Amino acid sequence: MSDVSSDVPRMFYRYESYPDYQSICLRLVTFNFVKETPKGYRISVYGGKTKWIPKESHKRYAFPTEKEARKSFIARKERQLRLLNWQILDVEQALCAAEHGEMSAPRLSDYVME
């Protein structure tokens, strides 16, 4: 007898963004289900390879519903934006220190990290 459930999603989804001339476009990528394991799923990804997806994790490569995939995409982009803002702050401080002939400046990004 198997521990594999009968209500396995047959498709998994992941949102991605890409530049297209003068705009940023979103695409919904679909992945076919290959196999279920007691702790996760194996899906078919690019180039005929497979990737394992955990069942009980918030951070996954792909999700069984479009809604979960969209929520994950938004969380990934929010984190990316926070990281880039911290980098911008560090660069601005480094430029300010260099323009004033200083060899160091306190890292303000350490104080704004969430």
Q: Which comes out higher in pLDDT, residue 24 or 101?
A: 24
- pLDDT tens-digit map of 17-56: 999 989 999 999 999 999 999 999 999 998 889 999 998 8
Q: 3-state SS of the chain: helix, strand, coil percent to 5?
A: 35, 30, 30
∠ at Cα 59 (36, 45), nearest 5°?
Answer: 50
C-alpha 73: how far from chain center: 6
- pLDDT tens-digit map of 57-67: 888 999 999 99
Q: Which comes out higher in pLDDT, residue 9 or 86?
A: 86
Contact 50, 62 (CB under 8 A): no
Pairing mode, strands 40-44 and 23-37: antiparallel
Listed residue (11, 9, 26, 22) closest to 76, CA to CA: 26
% pLDDT > 70, the chain:
86
